[in-house]
Amino acid sequence: MTVPTIALNDGNTIPQLGFGVFKVDPDETERIVTDALEVGYRHIDTAAIYGNEVGVGRAIEKSGIPRDELFITTKLWNSDQGTQSAFDAIDLSLEKLGLESVNLYLIHWPRPDLDRYLETWLALEQIKESGKAASIGVSNFHVEHLRKVIEGSSTVPAVDQIELHPAFAQHEIRDFAASKGIHVEAWGPLGQGKYDLFGMAPVAAAAAAHGVSPAQVVIRWHLQNGIIVFPKSNSRERMAQNFDVFGFELTADEVAAIDGLDQGLRVGSDPTTATF
């Protein structure tokens, strides 16, 4: 099964479907990522704050999969914003992952109260120049945060990873990102189980029509909207099901009906006020 790739604004490409390890127990990460790689995932999304980069690295090493067939993302945590601290943070992440470089390195949150994200972005430019990250981007950045880094640097972020699911479609950020050549990645693409997404009529109806699960419908909705998505699961069976989304296609009417579920329902933290 071939996962489609998306061309980033820096000339690199990214698999549109990947596997996330947010809240995956560090002691279980090696096993879970090994399962994901065996299922067929080649795009793994982790972060320093997740505490499981070591497990991701061990799974990669033991997999025997050539490095150039893998796309690995990690993220710089808020307490490491700044110039030297960003340099130290990428080195520590690479050491834990057992890699010489990552495919994508992100600023995890803007933390506008600290007002260090532009300085940190300039450090990421140097990290990219050093070869320690092939592409650089941001996470949880709103339009005003994106504007600041674009106007204050010579690099447009390759991606913006944001909370995005049918009830929280983030059209303002998506539209601005598209206008600047920034691709959007979805975290919490299935709503993190915090509302009855799978019971909503358009999702349930599409699942019944195509003989697939509601989760497969929602992942397919992301893909057909051009969004990069990486659901997570500790279950190999569920991982395989989430990966099996290329044998059907939602109709235009089904996509439009799911688009209509948007109600501005944020289930995570607001980047403009988050201070963790």
pLDDT, mean over the chain: 97
Q: Name the β-bridge partners of 72.
A: 44
Q: Which residues of 15-51 are buried (b: 16+ CB within 10 A; e: fewer)?
A: bbbbbbbeebeeeebbbbbbbbbebebbbbbbbbbbb
Contact 108, 102 (CB under 8 A): no
How many other C-beta atoms lie within 10 A of the C-beta of residue 247?
Answer: 11
pLDDT of residue 110: 98
Q: What is the DSSP string of 252-270?
A: HHHHHHHHTT------S--
pLDDT of residue 2: 85
Q: Domain ranges in the chain? A: 5-192+227-233
Rounded CA separation 10/108 (Å): 20
Percent of the chain with pLDDT over 90: 99
Hey, which residues are catalytic here? Answer: 50
pTM for the model stands at: 0.97
Contact 200, 165 (CB under 8 A): no
Q: For residue 196, give the nearest of 261, 240, 245, 268 by alpha carbon.
A: 261
Rounded CA separation 45/22 (Å): 8
- Say yes or no to pLDDT of 191 above 80: yes
Strands 19-20 and 13-15, by their bridges, are: unpaired
How many other C-beta atoms lie within 10 A of the C-beta of residue 226?
Answer: 12
Rounded CA separation 212/218 (Å): 11
The secondary structure element, H or E, covering residue 39 is: helix 26-39
- Say yes or no to pLDDT of 1 above 80: no
Strands 43-45 and 102-107, by their bridges, are: unpaired
Q: For residue 183, give the nearest of 219, 214, 222, 218 by alpha carbon.
A: 222
pLDDT of residue 243: 97
pLDDT interval class at 257 (50, 70, 90)? very high
Q: pLDDT tens digit string along 35-82?
A: 999 999 999 999 999 999 999 999 999 999 999 999 999 999 999 999
The secondary structure element, H or E, covering residue 130 is: helix 117-130
pLDDT of residue 83: 97
CATH tag for 5-192+227-233 (out of 3.20.20.100, 3.20.20.70, 3.30.830.10, 3.70.10.10): 3.20.20.100
Structure tokens that stand for 144 in this block? 């005003």
Contact 9, 155 (CB under 8 A): no
In whole angstroms, how far apart are CA 219 and each of 3, 137, 150, 212, 222? 13, 22, 30, 11, 5
Rounded CA separation 120/140 (Å): 15
- 177: number of CA atoms within 13 Å, CB side? 26
